[in-house]
Amino acid sequence: MKILANDGIDAAGKSILMEAGFDVVTDKIPQEELESRITDFDVIIVRSATKVTEKIIRASNLKLIARAGVGLDNIDLRTAGELGIPVVNTPNASSRSVAELVFAHAFSIARMLFLTNRIMPDFGKEQFKELKNTASAGFELTGKRMGIIGFGRIGQEVAKIAVGLGMEVLVYDYKSRSFDIIVELHEMYRQHNFKVTLKGQPLDVVLKTSDFISIHTPGSEEVIGELELSMMKKSAILLNCARGGVVNEKALNQAISDNKIAFAGVDVFENEPPVNDTLLKLKNTSLSPHIGASTAEAQLRVGIELAERIVAHLK
Ligand code: 3PG
Distance separating alpha carbons of residues 85 and 194, to the nearest angstrom: 47
Ligand 1 atom nearest to CA at 89: 3
Question: What pLDDT shows up at residue 199?
Answer: 57
Whether the per-residue pLDDT at 18 is higher than 60: the answer is: yes
Distance separating alpha carbons of residues 309 and 109, to the nearest angstrom: 39
Strands (E) across 113-167 are located at 145-149
Distance separating alpha carbons of residues 13 and 144, to the nearest angstrom: 40
pTM of this structure: 0.93
From the list 243, 270, 301, 305, the catalytic residue is 243
Q: Which of 94, 101, 153 to mutate to test the pocket of ligand 1 (most atoms within 8 A of CB)?
A: 94
Q: Whose CA is nearest to atom 5 of ligand 1?
A: 71
Q: Whose CA is nearest to atom 2 of ligand 1?
A: 71
Whether the per-residue pLDDT at 277 is higher than 50: the answer is: yes
* Residues 6 or more apart in contact with residue 298 via CB below 8 angstroms: 93, 94, 96, 97, 98
The model's confidence at residue 301, banded by pLDDT at 50, 70 and 90, is very high
Please indicate whether residue 197 or residue 77 has the higher confidence score (pLDDT): 77
Q: Is 243 a catalytic residue?
A: yes
pLDDT digits (tens, 9 = 90+) for 136-188: 999 999 999 999 998 888 998 998 899 889 888 888 876 554 444 455 566 66
Q: Averaged over 217-238, what is the pLDDT? A: 95
Q: Averaged over 42-63, what is the pLDDT? A: 97
**Residue 293 CA to ligand 1 centre (angstroms):** 6
Distance separating alpha carbons of residues 22 and 39, to the nearest angstrom: 16
Ligand 1 atom nearest to CA at 49: 10
From the list 35, 100, 222, 272, the catalytic residue is 272
Distance separating alpha carbons of residues 93 and 76, to the nearest angstrom: 22
Is the peptide bond between 273 and the residue preceding it cis, with omega within 30 degrees of 0?
A: yes
Q: Which residues pair with 147 in a beta bridge?
A: 170, 213
Positive/negative CA dihedral, 172, 178, 184, 189 = positive
Range with lowest mean pLDDT among 99-113, 173-187, 199-213, 280-294: 173-187
Q: Which of 6, 9, 47, 102 to mutate to test the pocket of ligand 1 (most atoms within 8 A of CB)?
A: 47
Element (H, E) at 304: helix 296-314
pLDDT digits (tens, 9 = 90+) for 179-217: 444 555 666 666 655 545 555 667 898 999 999 999 999
Element (H, E) at 2: strand 2-5
Whether the per-residue pLDDT at 58 is higher than 70: the answer is: yes
pLDDT-above-70 percentage for the chain: 91
Q: Whose CA is nearest to atom 9 of ligand 1?
A: 47
Question: What pLDDT shows up at residue 168?
Answer: 85
Please indicate whether residue 31 or residue 218 has the higher confidence score (pLDDT): 31
pLDDT-above-90 percentage for the chain: 80
